[in-house]
Amino acid sequence: MSLGAAVAAVCGAEPTHATPLIGGCIAEVYRLDFADRPPLVAKVAASGGLAIEGFMLDYLAEKTTLPVPATRHVSEELLLMDYVEHGPGRGTAAEVDAAERLAALHGITAREFGFGRDTVIGALPQPNPWTENWCDFYREQRLLVMGLIARESGRLPAETHRRLERFCLQLENFIDQPPAPGLVHGDVWSGNVLFGPGKDGESRVAAFIDPAIYYADPEVEIAYIELLSTFGAAFHRRYRELRPLRPGYAEGRRDVYNLFPLLVHTEICGPPYAQMVQDILTRYG
């Protein structure tokens, strides 16, 4: 079945145009324009895997104030969402807005770390069994899981993987138990944040897309944002006003928390990120 026919079958109208957009890891992405209704975004994945993304977007829409695209159809092979008008501008007001929205998200707590179901980051698995101890969760469900995936694919060298396993045995020396688990978006890089004009004409966050949600130490989100330079100084100043980071973050936890996204990027992109993993493990003995 063609994309137009599949869309018509679920929303009653066939698009007049389908414009390819920059996509994610597992899907083709299109802007769909119609004769008599607002545009949609379609993600198409013949191999499936889109239902979990739709679930995560719906969870954020129902349980939080984080702006996300509204879903119109969710299945394994086809995800339809409202098209969010956006532009390239970011600016101070937009960064402050992003800080306030993520601080509010991180203030949503759970009794334990993890989530009610497994999620994904891109196309890669994120197992989320509820776990009382944060160090146990981060070691067993993030570092060791992603390290093994990257080792089995051949992208993480065997010696680096062995060093990662040894490091995990002493992880308690480098991270502590945060006050409470906080909900994180999980993949806040520049491509997953859309900006648009606010009511005052200043740029604001229009939507966060492609989530990888779970309940974590919220500092993992800030470390990731710093790693990828998603936002600038205005974001970090405002976020810390709302949610001060605990002592020891910059001195150690930031690097340790960035091991997980670096392992993810190792699996996706290969050697440059594997070397960054190696560098952190060397730095911490």
What is the 3-state secondary structure of 182-219?
Answer: EEECCCCCHHHEEEEECCCCCEEEEEECCCCCEEECCH
From 82, 116, 133, give the residue that closes a domain: 82
The percentage of residues in the chain with a pLDDT greater than 70, rounded to a whole number, is 98
Active site residue 187: yes
76-109 per-position pLDDT tens digit: 999 999 999 988 767 899 999 999 999 999 999 9
212-267 per-position pLDDT tens digit: 999 999 999 999 999 999 999 999 999 999 999 999 999 999 999 999 999 999 99
pLDDT at 26: 76
Is residue 191 located within the same domain as residue 63? no
Is residue 63 located within the same domain as residue 111? no
Q: How many domains does the chain have?
A: 2
141-170 per-position pLDDT tens digit: 999 999 999 999 999 999 999 999 999 999
CATH number at residue 53: 3.30.200.20
Averaged pLDDT score across all residues of the chain: 95
Is residue 13 located within the same domain as residue 105? no
Domain containing residue 16: 3-82
Is residue 51 located within the same domain as residue 137? no
Confidence of residue 285 (pLDDT cuts 50, 70, 90): confident
| Location of structure tokens 């003995």 | 285
**Count of alpha carbons within 13 angstroms of residue 195, beta-carbon side:** 21
Burial of 157 (0-12, 13-18, 19+ CB in 10 A): middle
pLDDT at 24: 62
Is residue 117 located within the same domain as residue 141? yes
Is residue 30 located within the same domain as residue 110? no
From 47, 82, 117, give the residue that closes a domain: 82
Is residue 76 located within the same domain as residue 95? no
Are 216 and 182 in contact by the 8 Å Cβ rule? The answer is yes
Contact residues for 283 (Cβ-Cβ < 8 A; gap 6+) = 255
Is residue 154 located within the same domain as residue 258? yes
- Global pTM reads 0.96
- Which residue out of 58, 97, 187, 217 is catalytically annotated? 187
Please say if the pLDDT value at position 25 is more than 70: no
Least confident of 195-209, 238-252, 269-283: 195-209
From 39, 64, 82, give the residue that closes a domain: 82
CATH number at residue 277: 3.90.1200.10
Are 50 and 73 in contact by the 8 Å Cβ rule? The answer is no
In the beta sheet, which residues pair with residue 197?
A: 203
Is residue 35 located within the same domain as residue 120? no
Calculate mean pLDDT across residues 58-84: 97
28-48 per-position pLDDT tens digit: 999 999 999 999 999 999 888
Is residue 126 located within the same domain as residue 77? no
